[in-house]
Amino acid sequence: MKLPNDNEKYLSSWKYTEFARYIPDLKKVIRQKDGEFSGLVDIAQVEQYRNMYKNTGLYTSIWHYDNVDIESATRLGPLYFDIDNEDLNISYDETIKLYSYLTKYIPNESVLVYFTGKKGFHIECEPIALGINPSNNLPNIYRFIAGAIRDKLVLASLDFSVYDSRRMWRLAGSRHQQTGLYKNLLPQDVLFSDATTIQEFCDTQQKNIVEEQSFSYKANEWFRDFTYNLEIEKERSKDFIAYFNKYGSSVFKNIEEKHKSFNKEALLNGCSAIQRLYDQAKEKKWLDHEARLFLCSILTYSEEAITFLHEILSNCEDYNVEKSNSHINDWIRRRELGIGGRPYTCERANSAGVGCGQCALDSKKKWIKIGNKYVESDEVSLPSPVRFAYSSLNKGGEE
């Protein structure tokens, strides 16, 4: 996985991984349990690890972590696939089929194909290109995606045992303990040759340089569609009748909402947290990840609000209009599907460190839509800055 070179970038913190090696006497891959390479270790130490064990039979976790405490750390890793078959030619044919499918949506330089050194191939899709956010749910998401693709492409050699929370992954550029061949990144001309040429290419260690990565809106949209489907299936599996009663047919078609009137001045005057982040973006040219999510949750209910959100984000030095639109569309789509995308409550904003810390708003009863009208329910809605931002003709008052 290629991390940003700039330490100021959000994802640069995901630099810790686990080391492991193949133990011939046990015929197993064992994580380092003692010494300087035990636990979670900075990936920068990988070359020292190679030298210590002669670069043979080495592994790192497919996951990178944002701190050395695995219990509290969050995972980030590429969307990955392991194609493994006793017949290398079958592995190769299915790898080409999978690669050809993936590169319809993901830039070629972001789909990395490695020969593992024996009878299979690893494919890794770079998270920066796909806009993948760190999450400890990634193993489940990746398994779901692999299952959908397997069914679509009819892949018999896709290994599903690799989708777990501490998966060890053969180290790129390391030597296979049995064959003596190296796990190498395959350039296009070698990838589209044949299995024999690939084995010859991997008789020596290659440089295995991964290019700097850039966000791809198309790849992100492709990835997000899978996550929506996963969330919908999870909801359905709980209780179909309860699911239908909760969401009705809104998951299958969009309900046209009446226009919500956005009031920028009322929001800034009413919520000191929004005002603080607005000023911070203008003065410091920077907002952290949680602050951006908070703003996105509030400012995605009308075109005027989205314009204001872009106005705030455009002050940041790392502003990327395509990436910002992707996050905005994701938030809106999840809300439409009933699988998230709701505004931050003041309580959530405070717990994430982006609220005012002293909210005095009262809870209110929720409004439920029946037909084309809203009625007040007995269910209590926790206070949220969204109250200040909009008024709606549907309810004749605050959202």
pLDDT tens digit sequence for 294-315: 999 999 999 999 999 999 999 9
**Residue type at 193?**
S
Q: What is the pLDDT of residues 345-356, one digit of tens each?
A: 988 998 889 988
Give the phi and the psi of residue 140 in degrees, each rounded to 5: -70, -40
Number of neighbouring beta carbons within 10 Å of residue 65:
25
* 7: confidence class by pLDDT, cuts 50, 70, 90: confident
Q: Which range, 27-36, 191-200, 363-372, is most confident?
A: 191-200
User: Residue with structure tokens 């929370």?
Assistant: 165
CA distance 200 to 181: 9
pLDDT at 256 (0 to 100): 45
Query: What per-residue string of b and e applies to 1-29 under the rule 16 or more CB within 10 Å gives b?
Result: bbbeeeeeeebebbbbbbbbbbeeeeeeb
- pLDDT for 356 equals 86
User: Does the pLDDT at position 255 exceed 70?
Assistant: no
Residue 395 has pLDDT above 70, yes or no: no
Query: pLDDT tens across 168-196, in order?
Result: 999 999 999 999 999 999 999 999 999 99
Q: What is the pLDDT of residue 383?
A: 86
Q: What is the pLDDT of residue 252?
A: 41
Residues 6+ apart with CB under 8 A from 248: none
Determine the Cα–Cα distance for residues 249 and 245; give it in Å rounded to an integer.
Answer: 9
Q: Assign 10 a pLDDT band (cuts: 50, 70, 90).
A: confident
3-state secondary structure of 22: strand
**Contact by Cβ (8 Å): 121, 88:** no
Rounded to 5 degrees, φ, ψ at 120 are -155, -175
Cβ–Cβ under 8 Å, residues 344 and 382: no
Q: pLDDT for 151-163, tens place per residue?
A: 999 999 999 999 9
Give the pLDDT score at 253.
38
> Greater confidence, 239 or 182?
182
Token pair of 99, please?
């690669």
Q: Is the pLDDT of residue 240 over 70?
A: no
Q: Mean of the per-residue pLDDT values for the chain?
A: 89
- In this predicted structure, what is the pLDDT of residue 293? 94
State the virtual CA torsion across 200, 201, 206, 208 in degrees, nearest 10.
-140
Please, are residues 175 and 73 in contact by the beta-carbon 8 Å criterion? no
Query: How many residues comprise the chain?
Result: 399
Mean pLDDT (whole number) for 116-135: 96
